[in-house]
Amino acid sequence: MKVAFLVAPEGIEQVELTEPWQAVTAAGGIARLISTESGEVQAFNHLDKADTFPVDEVVGEASVDDFDGLVLPGGVANPDALRLDEAAVSFVKAFFDAGKPVAAICHAPWTLIEAGVVHGRTLTSWPSLRTDLTNAGATWVDEQVKVCTGGPNTLVTSRKPDDLKAFNDTFLAVFGGTA
């Protein structure tokens, strides 16, 4: 299993990147960090700078065909920056067009909204995105993890860092074809 992690150059909630990343690699998968710029990305522990991580590939050069699934970590600034980047939005939409699974946590569904892929879907997120998701035609639920199979692919969403264990277990099962 080869999984793309799409992030902006800064503003990623570190634990929402590192724990799913570790879950993929512990399951024998390959994780690749994709960003809108080369170099390193700056993660945060809420509002405080945390670690930096090396970018494996720039989104404009990455191919959906090379991956089995996509993980979108949260953080407020991360998805806000991604939804303004045309190549990032196109990359996300391409996973849906290809019928490949996507997992998004916390504020990451903002990028899904921009990609136009939430209409008619049921998902969860950080509570402040409820109105945005509803306005985009999604049904929002307050659940630890939500799997939505309605549409061209399977979408796994989760609310917050406290939900990471359930999020990781669920998206790994979906990406591995055992869910």
pLDDT in tens, 11-49: 999 999 999 999 999 999 999 999 999 999 999 999 999
Is residue 148 among the annotated active site residues? no
* Strand-by-strand arrangement of the 2-7 sheet: 57-58, 30-35, 2-7, 69-72, 102-105, 155-158, 145-148
Check pLDDT > 80 for residue 4: yes
- pLDDT tens, 58-93? 999 999 999 999 999 999 999 999 999 999 999 999
Q: What is the pLDDT of residues 85-144, one digit of tens each?
A: 999 999 999 999 999 999 999 999 999 999 999 999 999 999 999 999 999 999 999 999
- Nearest-angstrom CA–CA distance, 21 and 54: 13
Asked about 107 being catalytic, the answer comes back as yes
| φ, ψ of residue 175 in degrees (nearest 5) | -65, -35
pLDDT at 41: 98
Give the pLDDT band of residue 150 (cuts 50, 70, 90): confident
DSSP classification of residue 87: H
What letter does residue 105 receive in the DSSP assignment? Answer: E
To the nearest whole number, what is the mean pLDDT of the chain?
A: 97
Q: What is the pLDDT of residue 177?
A: 79
Under the banding of pLDDT at 50, 70 and 90, the label for residue 152 is: confident
Domains and CATH numbers, the chain: 2-175 (3.40.50.880)
- Exactly one of 46, 107, 119, 148 is catalytic; name it: 107
